[in-house]
Amino acid sequence: MKISRRQAIRASGTALTGLTLGLTQQRLLARPGLATQPQQLEDAEYRDISDLGLLPDGSAPEHPLSAREDISSVIYRFGQPRNTPPDIDYDYRNLSVTINGGGTTSRTGTMRWSDLEPLPRREHVFLLQCGAPSGPRGIVKWTGVRFSDVAEMLGVAPFARYARFVSADGYWVDEDMTTLMHPQVLLTWMLNDEPIPPGHGAPLRLVIPFRWGARSAKALTHILLTSTSFPQREPLQIAL
């Protein structure tokens, strides 16, 4: 079967992106336990999970600076390999994040530290927790910039509806733009006044304090935007 030159370029670009992220389509589609699921509906127990403790308006409570915790012994999980930070440059001054606006931004390409440095600096003390029912920890000071300021810098159009944040280990999260434009949503590079450690998301981490910690993607490498939706079965089509 013959394919056109455009089809060949598209296929090779998609494959190259997959290799760059260290992923395969089969691995992305694999979901542990699916093969053993019952073939009919059955009664199930709810997960034991703590409350996020949000304010009435849905925002996260701010904590005093004195409430900061030392979380150096806390392990936040990366996807692959388990609990192992990706082998990347952790210096935020060398960060490189691919921006693919999908026709919703006036700027696209590679975002670097020099693009973020001029933006207004923000500092907040939040609890970022995983939902563990017993004694959730993680009250820390985050330093970075609001995503809304980044969106303005990128020239995000009003019709942009969703963004996808891809981590260096291949993990990704999708959020709607209304959520992301909340003033508490940050792109951060400092934790408790020190560069974010590799295990906590260096060099650049998304922080959404009114979501579970897993929604705050670590070690960002790509930010995609769209006016419609992302291809769930082909998440690797992120090349410019």
Q: What is the CATH number of domain 57-226?
A: 3.90.420.10
Q: What is the pLDDT of residue 181?
A: 98
- Burial annotation 179-214 (CB, 10 A radius, 16+ → b, else e): bbebebbbbbbbbbeebbebbbbbbbbbbbbbbebe
Q: How wide is the angle at C-alpha 18 spanned by C-alphas 13 and 20, nearest 5°?
A: 95
Q: Is the dihedral of CA 58, 174, 72, 113 positive or negative?
A: negative
The residue extents of the domains of the chain are 57-226
Q: What is the pLDDT of residue 104?
A: 97
pTM of this structure? 0.81
Q: What is the pLDDT of residue 159?
A: 97
Q: How far apart are alpha carbons 84 and 222 in whole angstroms? A: 20
Averaged pLDDT, groups of 10, the chain, 240 residues long: 43 38 46 70 88 92 93 64 82 97 96 98 91 73 98 98 94 95 98 94 96 92 94 46
Q: What is the pLDDT of residue 16?
A: 35
